[in-house]
Every structure is written in structure tokens, then in C-alpha cells.
Structure 1
Amino acid sequence: MLPIPIDADGRFAGYASVFDRLDESGDRVLPGAFAKSLARRGAGRLRMLFQHDPKEPIGVWERVAEDGFGLWAEGRLIPGVGRADGLRRLIESRAVDGLSIGFRTVRASREAGGRRRRLSEIDLWEISVVTFPMLAEARIAPRPDAGAKRSLRAAIDMLRT
């Protein structure tokens, strides 16, 4: 059985972005793209929203960092916030598990053909819990160890081919 993705205090974690993966809008985030923004803002100044709605803050991000796989985020839903209380139950039951980033593009280049972008610097504003993430791999999940990350990447690559 899979571990419950949220604890009794409303803490959860997952990858808000995965490097070198094409999202539904044609963007590909490169490693290091968040570095300057995270150094400037840190986790405390990033907002946790529901469905990117600025009228729906639901919690706080306690740790956000790049690793070799993507943008890892750890946060906590705020008890007593109606949307957050309901969302806690939805995450616990795995009915909602998507993560998505809200950002401004600072530096990007176009891939061959001109439609797809390679994002090399991003000004990150917020990370939302969403029903349908633009990047399929951006999900709430237990943090995998290095071996599990390689296995996950291999499985994702296999499914894509």
C-alpha cells in the first residue's frame, strides 16, 4: 500500500517542476532555472495557492529547493482555512495530487521549430495545488531517494516512448 501523502499536521511534499520535461504549454525547464529566484525569495515569500487563484491561499511553503530531478517543495496546509481543510482530505485520499508553478519568464530560448521554449531563468511567485498540472510529473508524493529517482525517471522515459 502507498504511504499517505500528507501527515496529520497537513504537511506534504512533492515536485512542483521536473527538469527537462515538456509540459502541456510547450515549456521545458532547465536545471538551475529557479536558483536566482529562490536565493532572492526563499520558501517563505512563495505563496501556496489552490488552482493558482490569488484569492485562495491555503498554506505555507516551508522548504523549496532545486535538486538533480527538479523543484522539490515541502509545505503545510493551514488548519481552519475552509479550502485547506477540504483539500487535506482530498490529498489524503489521493483525489488531488497535482502541483503547478506560477512564474514570470526571465530568460528563455526557442527550440528548433520555434514553438517550444527552454526556460533557463524563472522568477517563481507561487506553487499551487491543482487538479490538472501542466506537467504530468509535478505531483505530491513522498520524496524518493536517489535510486528511486533514477528508477522513476527511467519508468517515465519508458512510458513516453
Structure 2
Amino acid sequence: MPQPLLIEGHASLFGLADLAGDVVHRGAFARTLRAKTSIPMLFQHDPAEPVGVWTGLREDRRGLFVTGEILAEGPRGRTVAGLVARGAVNGLSIGFRTRRSAARKPRGRDLFDIDLWEVSIVTFPMLPQARLRLVRPAVAA
């Protein structure tokens, strides 16, 4: 059985505007993290085939820090593991529903409370600084 690929990184960073002008604030993920629900690991926000599991999610001083395992058992997981291992894809992006926000000028929102639905590995993150790093590559079977 193939070994999982271990990854970590910031899926969101506090105080930085993303490409839509949205800014996530410290504490925005508190409700989700208290609920201790499983958050899917997707590729490119596609819910049809999860590619792994997030084993840890926490707010640190910089943002939402995630750790996880890309599972190579399925074809999509194998593909994503290969792309990440070779450095072809290294972005992270969050899928969420807004609970409490305020409009920003000239555009975007200040996000104070959000329901986190998923964290995706993506080619082009909405927040360009949201990146993953490889912790341990898969071991050849």
C-alpha cells in the first residue's frame, strides 16, 4: 500500500486581502475548530473525490495552519501526491460560508466568523500567500 504524503501549511492568513479583497481576521475559524468536525481535503475545490485527510487544523498567530495526508490509494490522490511531490502544485484554499462580516472599501469583506467547509490543494489560491510544504514524501512501495 502506498504511503501517504504528509503536508502542512497555512490555508488562510490573517490580515491579508485575497484577490477578491476579503480579509480573514483572527478568531474567524473558532466556531469550526470548537465543533471538531472533519474537514474534507479536496483538489481544486472538487467535492467529487476527496484526496486525503486533514489531521490537524488550528489557528496560530499567522492564520489557519493545517496538517494532513494526501492518500495515494485512489487515482486522484495518486495524481495529487505526484504533483505536490514534484512541486507542480503548492497552493491552499478554503471553502466556507460567511457568518459575520463587514464590507470593505473599495471592495471585499472583513471576515470575522466563518463556517469552514473544506480546505483544497489548488494551483492558484485566492490568497497567493496560502501555500503548503511537503513534510515527508511518499515512500516507494
Flag whether TM exceeds 0.5 (same fold).
yes
C-alpha distance 142-106 of structure 1, shift in aligned 2 (>3 A): same
Query: What is residue 117 of structure 2 aligned with on the other side?
Result: 125
Once the two structures are superposed, residues 9-34 of structure 1 have per-residue CA deviations (whole angstroms, 9 ceiling, x without a partner) of 31111110000000011100001100
Unmatched runs of 5 consecutive residues or more in structure 1: 1-7, 144-161
Higher relative contact order, chain-length normalized (CA < 8 Å, sep 6+): 2
SS in 1 for 2:92: strand
Aligned residue runs from structure 1 range 92-111, under 5 A: 92-111=85-104
**Once superposed, which parts of structure 1, at least 4 consecutive aligned residues long, lie more than 6 Å away?**
none
Return the letter of the residue paired with 1:49.
L
User: Would you say how many aligned residue pairs link Structure 1 and Structure 2?
Assistant: 133
TM-score, normalised on structure 2?
Answer: 0.89
Once the two structures are superposed, residues 104-159 of structure 1 have per-residue CA deviations (whole angstroms, 9 ceiling, x without a partner) of 0000011244x22000001001000001000001100269xxxxxxxxxxxxxxxx
CA distance in 2, matches of 1:136, 1:68: 18
Query: What is residue 14 of structure 2 aligned with on the other side?
Result: 19
CA distance in 1, matches of 2:132, 2:44: 14
Aligned residue runs from structure 1 range 31-110, under 5 A: 31-42=26-37, 45-110=38-103
TM-score, normalised on structure 1?
Answer: 0.78
C-alpha RMSD over aligned residues: 1.4
CA distance in 2, matches of 1:112, 1:24: 14
More helix by share: 1
The percent of aligned pairs where both chains have the same amino acid is: 45
Q: CA deviation at 1:78?
A: 1.5
Return the letter of the residue paired with 1:17.
S
Unmatched runs of 5 consecutive residues or more in structure 2: 136-141
